Structure 1
Amino acid sequence: MSRSQRKEDDPDLGILAGNILFGVQREMFRSLAEQGHPELRPRHGAVLAYLDENGSRATDLARQSGQHKQVIGTLVDELVALGYLRREPDPNDRRAKLILPTERGLDEMRRGDQIMAEIEARHRAEVGEQEYAAFKRCMTRIARLHRSSAED
């Protein structure tokens, strides 16, 4: 049996995680495009998925998303140019900048949260409430293991 056939018959964690990630991203960004946000790309999720309505620091977005601060800075620049974000001095630390959503950004955040809720509801309906809850608990534990090992 070929390696590709083995991977298809019994996909490993990387393949499964990739299939889920890419499938969710395709649906998310296709739906967002249909709802008035066609310029957004999956890479923007590293910022938009973690951004607080009342603002976030780039260092926090980098830590939460697992991306380098420079990558987050580039994505923030893109999202500012697209009209989704703005930068303001952080009232708690004048040396730092706070990244805030604009009205357009808030609209995307609300729509994105709703799309994700619909995706999760469909998955729960497919596999059952208890099985989906167990799946999320397991995925959360595994994600935390990888995050803690990356921080060491």
Structure 2
Amino acid sequence: MNRAERKKTDPDLGVMAGQVLFSLQKELFSTLAEQGHPRLRPRHGAVLAYLDEDGSRATDLAQQSGQHKQVIGTLVDELVELGYVRREPDPRDRRAKLVVPTELGLDQMARSDAIVATIERRHAEAVGEEAYAVFRRVFKQVAEGHRGRLR
């Protein structure tokens, strides 16, 4: 059996994680587009998926998403231009800035959470609630293990 056949019949963690990620992103962003957010792209998820409703520091977004600070800065610039976030002084440290969602950003965040919850419910129904709960718990442990290796 050649490598390509093996990847199809017995995919490794990277292949499976990629398949899940790209499928989820495709459904999430196409549904968001239908719901009034057509200019967002999957790359914006590195900010929006981790953004707190009260605002987050760019350095925290970079750490949580695993992206470089410069990448997060570029994405924040794009999201400011698109009207999803604004920069404000951090009240705890006036030298720092917070990335704060606008009303449009808050709408996207709520819709995104609902869409992902629907996707997860569908998966849980397909494999069974208990099996899906075990999958999530184990996948979270694997993801946390990999995140720890990057630090």
Written as runs of structure 1 = structure 2, the 5 A alignment for 1:83-98 is: 83-98=83-98
Structure 1 runs of 4+ aligned residues shifted over 3 Å read none
Extract unaligned runs of 5+ from structure 2. Answer: none
Given residue 106 of structure 1, which amino acid in structure 2 is its aligned partner? Answer: L
Q: CA–CA distance in 2 between the matches of 1:92 and 1:117? A: 33
RMSD of aligned Cα (Å): 0.5
CA distance in 2, matches of 1:148, 1:98: 26
1:57 shift after superposition: 0.4
The corresponding residue for 1:58 is: 58
Task: Report how far residue 47 of structure 1 moved.
Answer: 0.4
Amino acid at match of 1:63: Q
1:3-152 equivalent positions in 2, closer than 5 A: 3-151=3-151
Name the count of aligned residue pairs: 151
Amino acid of the residue matched to residue 11 of structure 2? P
Q: Which amino acid aligns with 1:30?
A: S
Secondary structure, in 3 states, of the residue corresponding to 1:99?
strand
Q: What is the Cα deviation at residue 12 of structure 1?
A: 0.7
In the aligned structure 1, how far is the partner of 2:17 from the partner of 2:98?
Answer: 32
2:100 alignment partner, SS class:
strand
Distance 1:144 1:100 in 2: 26
Shift of 1:3: 1.2
In the TM superposition, residue 6 of structure 1 has moved relative to its aligned partner by: 1.1
